[in-house]
Amino acid sequence: AVGGSALLPTGSGAAVPGPREVSAAVPPFQAEMPVPPVLRPARSTHGTDHYELVAKPGTAAVLPGLSTPVLGYQGSFIGPTIKATRRRRVAVTYRNGLTEETAVHLHGGHVAADQDGHPMDAVQPGEKRIYLYPNEQRGATLWYHDHAHHIDAEHVYRGLAGFYLLEDPVERMLPLPKGKYDIPVMIRNARFDTDGKMIFEWRDFFGRDTIIVNGKPQPHLRVEARKYRFRFLNAANLGVFKLSLSTGDSFVQIGSDGGLLPRPYVTPAFQLLPGERVEAVIDFSKYPRGTRVIVKNEYAFTPETADIMAFDVGDPAPDRSAVPDVLRPLPALGPADRTRQFVLGPDAEGMPVINGKSFDMDRVDTTIPLGSTEIWEITNNDVAQPIPIPHNMHVHLVQFRVLSRNGAPPDGGEAGLKDTVTVFPGETVRIQATFADYRGRYLYHCHFLDHAAEGMMAQLEVV
Ligand code: C2O
Ligand code: CU
């Protein structure tokens, strides 16, 4: 395990811990954790559900008694959840009600290049664009967020993100907790001033000291004494979380970025870096009524960021759900056609880049013949003292497998399909992906969005 200052990023230009502003005044576990509303289709035709979303400014009640200006889908701090079904198409009309351009990316989606929210396809203010999602891939917890060139980091920070839950009939047949016992949980952080406004400064790793869960600071959720399925997403630009329970009990991890794991993985803690998802079942039936179970962050660097949220256990409830020993087998790992190396780290000026090059929308960095299977060896060389910097790698278009981390096989929580993988300073991670079905240009980048927007992003082209 990596902990403490070993992973705290700063490097050039990053802020040092400053005085806390308003957030220290907010006692934890006061707010109820909201669940983002599910968006209803504007209409449904044969085989396709049509949705309409507008990206626009709004205000949100995040901190008690204060109003926070946000940018959001439908103007809300977290966009509404889109629920899709495998093999049923979704078409989303996004209108840009912002004063800047936008592009919308379905993170984890296997979609055509011109539907991927590439920044070169930006939607100008006042305009709209229809994105088509075929949903041919396996069920998974996906999410949608802004991807406009360079300003995406600030757009996402101000609220342009939401869940896209792709349900799969195969998964529905399993006895996992369902319905109101299946809850998406978006974890992020932010820095607020005393008026409740969010402060955006580049690479403000230490300043963003308010943890926000589904739009509220360190909330609590009343749960029945039974099993729940939670879909945790780290939607922070820079937040580094490792979740554990104050009771010392384990999570039963059932899923990762690309859907169900082959088998459940029982673990006392799991890490969640920007863009990553972990699905876990927590069984509250063993706790007496009135028990408060706190979700801790083992990577906290201030006492204020040590607690993420709390569950308050209520009455026992009937529970016929179960976690089967076998969840979903993975597709076979075929042989790879080639291996490539990627280095995440600073350039001569200390800016975050991939393979020494800053992002250039006019340059293709990696050309991949359609249908080929590749191994990517990703190294984080951001090891300079005093503070080495963690990064991760998100690859559009594909769900990949983690082959090894520093030469060792991945643990059970990383044994499923992934689209974003963490690489701590000094680590080398090998992943394998097959680039099938679609030609064209896609992005890959560090999902610490401040790093990506500053240059740690590149393009692949499937030809
Ligand atoms: Cu979640 Cu290129 O993004
Ligand atoms: Cu990074």
Structural domains in the chain, sorted by start:
23-169 (2.60.40.420), 174-316 (2.60.40.420), 338-462 (2.60.40.420)
pLDDT confidence of 21, banded at 50, 70, 90?
A: low
Q: Which residue minimizes the CA distance to atom 1 of ligand 1? A: 107
Higher pLDDT, 206 or 290: 290
* Ligand 1 contact, 155 CB (< 6 A): no
Task: Say how many Å lie between the CA of residue 282 and the centre of ligand 2.
Answer: 31
* Ligand 1 contact, 119 CB (< 6 A): no
What is the residue-averaged pLDDT of the chain?
A: 93
Ligand at shortest distance from the CA of 458: 1
pLDDT in tens, 156-193: 999 999 999 999 999 999 999 999 999 999 999 999 99
State yes or no: pLDDT of 5 exceeds 90: no
Tokens, residue 101: 């351009």
State yes or no: pLDDT of 235 exceeds 90: yes
pLDDT in tens, 401-445: 999 999 999 999 999 999 999 999 999 999 999 999 999 999 999
What confidence score (pLDDT) does residue 8 get?
43
What confidence score (pLDDT) does residue 25 get?
61
* Ligand 1 contact, 203 CB (< 6 A): no
* Ligand 1 contact, 231 CB (< 6 A): no
What confidence score (pLDDT) does residue 61 get?
96
Cβ of 438: how many Cβ atoms within 10 Å?
17
| Amino acid (1-letter code) at residue 413 | G
pLDDT in tens, 367-380: 999 999 999 999 99
pLDDT confidence of 23, banded at 50, 70, 90?
A: low
Q: Which of 345, 356, 396 is nearest to 120 (CA)?
A: 396
State yes or no: pLDDT of 3 exceeds 90: no
Ligand at shortest distance from the CA of 395: 1
* Ligand 1 contact, 401 CB (< 6 A): no
Task: Say how many Å lie between the CA of residue 75 and the centre of ligand 2.
Answer: 28
User: Ligand 1, closest atom to CA 147?
Assistant: 2
* Ligand 1 contact, 394 CB (< 6 A): yes
